[in-house]
Amino acid sequence: MIGWPVSQSLSPVIHNAAFEALGLDWVYLPLPVPPGELPRAVAGLPALGFAGANVTMPHKTEAAELVDALSEDAARTRAVNTIVVPGVGAERIPRPAGEDAPPYRLEGHNTDVAGFDRFLRRDAGFDPAGRSALVYGAGGAARACALALARGGLSRLTVAARSPERASGMQEAVDGLATEVRVVPFSGAGGLQVDLVVNATPSDFAGEVPPLPKLGPEVLAVDLVYRSGGTGFLSLAKAGGAVTFGGLGMLIHQAALSFELWTGQAAPLSVMSAAAMAELAEPVR
Protein backbone atom coordinates (compact mmCIF):
# COMPACT_ATOMS: atom_id res chain seq x y z
CA MET A 1 0.00 0.00 0.00
CA ILE A 2 1.31 3.39 -1.07
CA GLY A 3 0.22 6.28 1.12
CA TRP A 4 1.26 8.88 3.66
CA PRO A 5 0.90 7.83 6.40
CA VAL A 6 0.15 4.09 6.25
CA SER A 7 1.15 2.85 9.70
CA GLN A 8 -2.44 2.48 10.96
CA SER A 9 -3.83 0.81 7.85
CA LEU A 10 -5.70 -2.50 8.17
CA SER A 11 -4.96 -3.44 4.57
CA PRO A 12 -1.78 -5.47 5.24
CA VAL A 13 -3.64 -7.58 7.83
CA ILE A 14 -6.60 -8.12 5.48
CA HIS A 15 -4.59 -9.07 2.39
CA ASN A 16 -1.96 -11.19 4.11
CA ALA A 17 -4.73 -13.22 5.75
CA ALA A 18 -6.26 -13.76 2.30
CA PHE A 19 -2.93 -14.80 0.75
CA GLU A 20 -2.36 -17.30 3.55
CA ALA A 21 -5.89 -18.72 3.28
CA LEU A 22 -5.39 -19.46 -0.42
CA GLY A 23 -1.83 -20.73 -0.02
CA LEU A 24 -0.32 -17.92 -2.09
CA ASP A 25 3.34 -17.09 -1.56
CA TRP A 26 2.59 -13.37 -1.61
CA VAL A 27 3.04 -10.56 0.89
CA TYR A 28 1.35 -7.17 1.23
CA LEU A 29 3.59 -4.40 2.53
CA PRO A 30 2.90 -0.86 3.74
CA LEU A 31 4.89 1.58 1.59
CA PRO A 32 5.06 5.04 3.20
CA VAL A 33 5.60 7.49 0.34
CA PRO A 34 5.73 11.20 1.22
CA PRO A 35 4.18 13.83 -1.06
CA GLY A 36 6.42 14.56 -4.04
CA GLU A 37 7.86 11.04 -4.20
CA LEU A 38 4.94 9.20 -5.81
CA PRO A 39 6.32 9.16 -9.39
CA ARG A 40 9.50 7.39 -8.28
CA ALA A 41 7.58 4.96 -6.09
CA VAL A 42 5.16 3.96 -8.86
CA ALA A 43 7.93 3.62 -11.43
CA GLY A 44 9.80 1.27 -9.12
CA LEU A 45 6.98 -1.25 -8.63
CA PRO A 46 7.77 -3.50 -11.63
CA ALA A 47 11.51 -3.48 -10.97
CA LEU A 48 10.88 -4.66 -7.42
CA GLY A 49 8.61 -7.49 -8.59
CA PHE A 50 5.33 -6.10 -7.31
CA ALA A 51 2.20 -7.47 -8.96
CA GLY A 52 0.52 -4.24 -7.97
CA ALA A 53 -0.26 -1.92 -5.10
CA ASN A 54 -3.08 -0.13 -3.40
CA VAL A 55 -2.91 3.65 -3.32
CA THR A 56 -4.42 5.69 -0.51
CA MET A 57 -4.42 9.29 0.66
CA PRO A 58 -3.05 11.66 -0.41
CA HIS A 59 -1.94 10.02 -3.67
CA LYS A 60 -5.07 8.69 -5.44
CA THR A 61 -5.53 11.60 -7.83
CA GLU A 62 -1.85 11.89 -8.74
CA ALA A 63 -1.63 8.13 -9.30
CA ALA A 64 -4.20 8.45 -12.08
CA GLU A 65 -1.71 10.60 -13.97
CA LEU A 66 1.18 8.14 -13.63
CA VAL A 67 -0.24 4.90 -15.02
CA ASP A 68 -0.46 3.88 -18.67
CA ALA A 69 -4.10 2.80 -18.78
CA LEU A 70 -7.15 3.63 -16.66
CA SER A 71 -10.26 1.56 -16.04
CA GLU A 72 -13.56 3.35 -16.70
CA ASP A 73 -14.13 3.99 -13.00
CA ALA A 74 -10.62 5.34 -12.49
CA ALA A 75 -11.00 7.61 -15.51
CA ARG A 76 -14.38 8.94 -14.36
CA THR A 77 -13.23 9.64 -10.81
CA ARG A 78 -9.69 10.72 -11.77
CA ALA A 79 -8.52 8.59 -8.87
CA VAL A 80 -6.61 5.30 -8.68
CA ASN A 81 -6.67 3.14 -5.58
CA THR A 82 -5.34 -0.04 -7.22
CA ILE A 83 -2.36 -0.41 -9.54
CA VAL A 84 -1.86 -3.64 -11.47
CA VAL A 85 1.45 -4.65 -13.05
CA PRO A 86 0.37 -7.25 -15.63
CA GLY A 87 2.76 -10.07 -16.36
CA VAL A 88 4.73 -10.10 -13.10
CA GLY A 89 6.24 -13.56 -12.89
CA ALA A 90 5.57 -14.13 -16.57
CA GLU A 91 6.12 -12.29 -19.83
CA ARG A 92 5.55 -8.59 -19.24
CA ILE A 93 2.92 -6.81 -21.30
CA PRO A 94 4.77 -4.30 -23.49
CA ARG A 95 4.28 -0.62 -22.96
CA PRO A 96 3.59 1.55 -26.03
CA ALA A 97 6.84 2.31 -27.81
CA GLY A 98 8.58 5.54 -26.97
CA GLU A 99 11.99 6.91 -26.19
CA ASP A 100 13.17 5.82 -22.74
CA ALA A 101 9.93 3.88 -22.13
CA PRO A 102 10.46 0.94 -19.75
CA PRO A 103 9.33 -2.52 -20.89
CA TYR A 104 6.20 -2.73 -18.74
CA ARG A 105 2.70 -1.27 -18.55
CA LEU A 106 0.86 -0.08 -15.45
CA GLU A 107 -2.93 -0.29 -15.13
CA GLY A 108 -4.88 2.00 -12.84
CA HIS A 109 -8.17 0.87 -11.32
CA ASN A 110 -10.63 2.25 -8.79
CA THR A 111 -12.22 -0.47 -6.68
CA ASP A 112 -13.70 2.08 -4.27
CA VAL A 113 -16.66 2.56 -6.63
CA ALA A 114 -17.82 -1.05 -6.74
CA GLY A 115 -16.66 -1.57 -3.15
CA PHE A 116 -18.96 1.20 -1.91
CA ASP A 117 -21.87 -0.14 -3.95
CA ARG A 118 -21.40 -3.66 -2.59
CA PHE A 119 -21.17 -2.35 0.97
CA LEU A 120 -24.38 -0.33 0.60
CA ARG A 121 -26.38 -3.18 -0.88
CA ARG A 122 -24.97 -6.23 0.93
CA ASP A 123 -24.06 -4.83 4.34
CA ALA A 124 -26.30 -1.80 4.83
CA GLY A 125 -29.28 -3.04 2.78
CA PHE A 126 -29.56 0.31 0.98
CA ASP A 127 -30.74 0.60 -2.62
CA PRO A 128 -29.93 4.08 -3.98
CA ALA A 129 -32.49 3.93 -6.82
CA GLY A 130 -34.77 6.95 -6.63
CA ARG A 131 -33.23 8.13 -3.34
CA SER A 132 -31.30 11.23 -2.27
CA ALA A 133 -27.89 11.58 -0.65
CA LEU A 134 -25.55 14.12 0.93
CA VAL A 135 -21.80 13.56 0.63
CA TYR A 136 -19.30 15.58 2.64
CA GLY A 137 -16.11 16.01 0.62
CA ALA A 138 -15.12 16.27 -3.03
CA GLY A 139 -11.89 14.25 -3.21
CA GLY A 140 -11.22 10.85 -4.75
CA ALA A 141 -13.26 8.92 -2.16
CA ALA A 142 -16.22 11.26 -2.56
CA ARG A 143 -16.09 10.96 -6.34
CA ALA A 144 -16.11 7.17 -6.04
CA CYS A 145 -19.19 7.30 -3.82
CA ALA A 146 -20.90 9.71 -6.22
CA LEU A 147 -20.30 7.43 -9.19
CA ALA A 148 -21.50 4.34 -7.32
CA LEU A 149 -24.67 6.12 -6.24
CA ALA A 150 -25.39 7.58 -9.67
CA ARG A 151 -24.92 4.19 -11.33
CA GLY A 152 -27.35 2.79 -8.79
CA GLY A 153 -30.03 5.24 -9.88
CA LEU A 154 -29.72 7.92 -7.18
CA SER A 155 -32.13 10.74 -7.95
CA ARG A 156 -30.44 13.67 -6.20
CA LEU A 157 -26.93 14.17 -4.82
CA THR A 158 -25.83 17.13 -2.73
CA VAL A 159 -22.08 17.57 -2.27
CA ALA A 160 -20.94 19.62 0.73
CA ALA A 161 -17.40 20.86 0.13
CA ARG A 162 -15.19 23.21 2.09
CA SER A 163 -14.13 24.72 -1.25
CA PRO A 164 -17.07 24.28 -3.67
CA GLU A 165 -15.06 25.77 -6.53
CA ARG A 166 -12.76 22.73 -6.37
CA ALA A 167 -15.60 20.22 -6.65
CA SER A 168 -16.00 20.17 -10.45
CA GLY A 169 -14.79 16.58 -10.53
CA MET A 170 -17.98 15.42 -8.83
CA GLN A 171 -20.08 16.35 -11.86
CA GLU A 172 -17.49 14.86 -14.22
CA ALA A 173 -17.63 11.55 -12.33
CA VAL A 174 -21.35 11.15 -13.00
CA ASP A 175 -21.39 12.66 -16.50
CA GLY A 176 -24.04 11.03 -18.67
CA LEU A 177 -25.93 9.57 -15.72
CA ALA A 178 -29.33 10.83 -14.60
CA THR A 179 -28.44 11.92 -11.07
CA GLU A 180 -28.93 15.61 -10.30
CA VAL A 181 -25.80 17.00 -8.59
CA ARG A 182 -25.65 20.15 -6.50
CA VAL A 183 -22.52 21.45 -4.78
CA VAL A 184 -22.84 23.58 -1.65
CA PRO A 185 -20.45 24.84 1.05
CA PHE A 186 -20.50 23.00 4.38
CA SER A 187 -22.89 25.65 5.70
CA GLY A 188 -25.41 24.64 3.01
CA ALA A 189 -25.81 21.11 4.35
CA GLY A 190 -27.82 22.05 7.40
CA GLY A 191 -31.41 20.89 7.49
CA LEU A 192 -31.40 19.05 4.17
CA GLN A 193 -33.74 16.10 3.88
CA VAL A 194 -31.90 13.09 2.44
CA ASP A 195 -31.98 9.31 2.69
CA LEU A 196 -28.22 8.81 2.92
CA VAL A 197 -25.41 10.95 4.35
CA VAL A 198 -21.75 10.03 3.80
CA ASN A 199 -18.63 11.52 5.36
CA ALA A 200 -15.99 11.13 2.63
CA THR A 201 -13.53 13.59 4.19
CA PRO A 202 -10.44 12.64 6.24
CA SER A 203 -11.97 14.36 9.28
CA ASP A 204 -14.21 12.37 11.62
CA PHE A 205 -15.80 15.66 12.78
CA ALA A 206 -14.55 15.15 16.35
CA GLY A 207 -14.25 18.56 17.95
CA GLU A 208 -16.29 20.27 15.23
CA VAL A 209 -19.99 20.18 14.54
CA PRO A 210 -20.75 20.80 10.86
CA PRO A 211 -24.27 21.62 9.75
CA LEU A 212 -26.04 18.28 9.52
CA PRO A 213 -29.08 17.24 7.48
CA LYS A 214 -32.31 16.17 9.10
CA LEU A 215 -31.68 12.88 10.87
CA GLY A 216 -33.88 10.04 12.03
CA PRO A 217 -34.31 6.26 11.84
CA GLU A 218 -35.09 6.49 8.12
CA VAL A 219 -31.66 8.01 7.37
CA LEU A 220 -28.50 5.95 6.79
CA ALA A 221 -25.23 7.64 7.86
CA VAL A 222 -21.88 6.26 6.69
CA ASP A 223 -18.38 7.40 7.64
CA LEU A 224 -15.69 6.10 5.31
CA VAL A 225 -13.22 6.39 8.20
CA TYR A 226 -12.91 3.03 9.96
CA ARG A 227 -12.03 3.19 13.62
CA SER A 228 -12.68 1.00 16.63
CA GLY A 229 -15.27 2.76 18.76
CA GLY A 230 -16.61 4.86 15.89
CA THR A 231 -16.02 8.49 14.95
CA GLY A 232 -17.26 11.90 15.95
CA PHE A 233 -19.40 12.05 12.81
CA LEU A 234 -21.09 8.74 13.62
CA SER A 235 -21.68 9.82 17.21
CA LEU A 236 -23.49 12.93 15.96
CA ALA A 237 -25.52 10.90 13.47
CA LYS A 238 -26.42 8.27 16.05
CA ALA A 239 -27.50 10.96 18.52
CA GLY A 240 -29.84 12.24 15.79
CA GLY A 241 -31.41 8.80 15.47
CA ALA A 242 -29.83 7.72 12.17
CA VAL A 243 -28.72 4.18 11.33
CA THR A 244 -24.91 4.30 11.27
CA PHE A 245 -22.05 2.38 9.66
CA GLY A 246 -18.31 2.94 9.70
CA GLY A 247 -16.00 2.42 6.76
CA LEU A 248 -14.87 -1.13 7.49
CA GLY A 249 -17.40 -2.75 5.15
CA MET A 250 -16.35 -0.63 2.19
CA LEU A 251 -12.68 -1.24 3.02
CA ILE A 252 -13.14 -5.01 2.89
CA HIS A 253 -15.20 -5.01 -0.31
CA GLN A 254 -12.77 -2.77 -2.19
CA ALA A 255 -9.87 -4.86 -0.87
CA ALA A 256 -11.52 -8.03 -2.19
CA LEU A 257 -11.85 -6.46 -5.63
CA SER A 258 -8.19 -5.40 -5.60
CA PHE A 259 -7.16 -8.90 -4.53
CA GLU A 260 -9.01 -10.40 -7.50
CA LEU A 261 -7.38 -7.98 -9.94
CA TRP A 262 -3.90 -8.96 -8.74
CA THR A 263 -4.33 -12.70 -8.27
CA GLY A 264 -7.13 -13.69 -10.67
CA GLN A 265 -8.70 -15.67 -7.82
CA ALA A 266 -11.91 -15.13 -5.87
CA ALA A 267 -11.19 -13.28 -2.65
CA PRO A 268 -11.91 -15.13 0.63
CA LEU A 269 -14.18 -12.37 1.91
CA SER A 270 -15.02 -14.02 5.24
CA VAL A 271 -11.33 -14.50 6.03
CA MET A 272 -10.54 -10.88 5.19
CA SER A 273 -13.42 -9.63 7.33
CA ALA A 274 -12.45 -11.81 10.28
CA ALA A 275 -8.84 -10.65 10.12
CA ALA A 276 -9.91 -7.00 10.14
CA MET A 277 -12.30 -7.48 13.05
CA ALA A 278 -9.66 -9.34 15.06
CA GLU A 279 -7.12 -6.57 14.48
CA LEU A 280 -9.58 -3.87 15.52
CA ALA A 281 -10.40 -5.82 18.67
CA GLU A 282 -6.73 -5.84 19.72
CA PRO A 283 -5.89 -3.31 22.44
CA VAL A 284 -3.72 -0.38 21.31
CA ARG A 285 -0.09 -1.29 21.92
Which residues carry out catalysis? 60
Cβ neighbours for 182, distance < 8 A, ≥ 6 positions apart: 156, 157, 158, 159
Residue 174 CB neighbour total at 10 angstroms: 22
CA distance 77 to 267: 24
The strands making up 107-109's β-sheet, listed across from edge to edge, are: 52-54, 82-84, 107-109, 69-70
Nearest to 247 by CA among 206, 284, 198: 198
CA distance 136 to 134: 7
